[in-house]
Amino acid sequence: MIPNPLMLLSLLGGVINAVRPDSPVPPAQTVEGATFAELLDQAKAGEISSDLDISVAQDAGLDLTEDQLARLAVAADQAQARGASKAVVLIDGMALSLDVAGRRVTGTVSINQTGIYDGFDTIINAGDETADAARGTLPLPGQRVTPGNGSLLKLLADQNRSQDQLSQSA
């Protein structure tokens, strides 16, 4: 299901009125005291939730916990607010392929192999499940990969070493 943007805004409890583009008076209405631009910024920051669920494709072969699904829902909200349609979500040591508009995990992405991974708009780090981690939290807006993610940095370093070895042997 692809949510209609007006439906998402209506979830905020406000009323949206359509205004003709050639109207001499710009619309002055706000939703709960915020303009559209402010609401969009809040959505990008993860401060607004669509409360839409994430599904997992049957052929994906994944069994995700409720906490993981909740973090994926936050990731999908943020990716959609940025206009992404297909994302790689790093979560609990996995790299998952997420159809943002369909809010569906379609499988895993094997990022430990050398190569180019195309067909994705964004990478989101949804964090690792730890006892002290807050449920449904993500890195700050604009932060696509957490700099302190040691396993990801090691993976990238290993890929660079593999590429260097291939170029030296050629």
DSSP string, 15-29: ------TT-SS----
> Given a cut of 90, is residue 143 above it in pLDDT?
no
Do residue 97 and residue 163 come from a single domain? yes
Query: Residue 139 — pLDDT band, cuts 50, 70, 90?
Result: very low
Do residue 141 and residue 78 come from a single domain? yes
Query: Residue 146 — pLDDT band, cuts 50, 70, 90?
Result: very low
- What are the φ/ψ torsions at residue 23 (nearest 5 degrees)? -65, 135
The tokens describing 140, both together, are: 């700050």
**Residue 50 belongs to some domain of the structure:** no
Containing domain of residue 105, as a range? 55-169
**Residue 49 belongs to some domain of the structure:** no
Do residue 73 and residue 25 come from a single domain? no
Do residue 31 and residue 79 come from a single domain? no
Report the length, in residues, of the chain. 170
The residue written with tokens 């050639």 in the block is 22
